Amino acid sequence: MTEPRRLFLAGFSGTGKSAVASLVADTLGWRTVDTDRLIEEAAGRSVPEIFERDGEPRFRELERDAVRRAATEDDVVVATGGGAVIAQENRRAMADGGLLVCLEARPQAILERLREGEGTPDRNGPSSPGPTRSPASWS
């Protein structure tokens, strides 16, 4: 069996996907890809703006394209959006294209991170992440 050439991180907003992706990519000598950034590049606006102007169906379409695109890259750790695993097509692309890992965190820790602005952008949040702390310092 060949080793995976890409690692997908999934999980609820605030579980640390972006922070963990960066740490793992640095350790492996791989690149980090954030599907929210791919979506923003394709749309020319932030995730909250996409939700506001175009609605969730358009966002999910862009998300499917971003996941498919990431699944073709080699030597990458991919931080997906919190809802990326909702679509079966995305789950299939991630599982077929590499190793899929779901991150978890205690609800209180997620709530604190999102309140502190450390979660990734979503339909209600800012388009850029807040201050980053090491995952080791998270409760």
What CATH number does residue 113 fall under?
A: 3.40.50.300
Q: What is the pTM of this model?
A: 0.81
Secondary structure of residue 85 in the 3-state scheme? helix
Domains of the chain: total:
1
Q: Look at residue 16 and tell me if it is in a domain.
A: no
Q: Look at residue 13 and tell me if it is in a domain.
A: no
Q: Look at residue 114 and tell me if it is in a domain.
A: yes
Q: Look at residue 92 and tell me if it is in a domain.
A: yes
Q: Look at residue 130 and tell me if it is in a domain.
A: no
Contacts of 4 (CB under 8 A, 6+ apart): 98, 99
Structural domain span for residue 109: 27-123
How, if at all, do strands 76-79 and 31-34 pair?
Answer: parallel
Q: Look at residue 136 and tell me if it is in a domain.
A: no
pLDDT digits (tens, 9 = 90+) for 5-63: 999 999 999 999 999 999 999 999 999 999 999 999 999 999 999 999 999 999 999 99
72 DSSP assignment: T
Q: For residue 135, is pLDDT > 60? A: no
Q: Look at residue 96 and tell me if it is in a domain.
A: yes
pLDDT digits (tens, 9 = 90+) for 77-108: 999 999 999 999 999 999 987 999 999 999 99
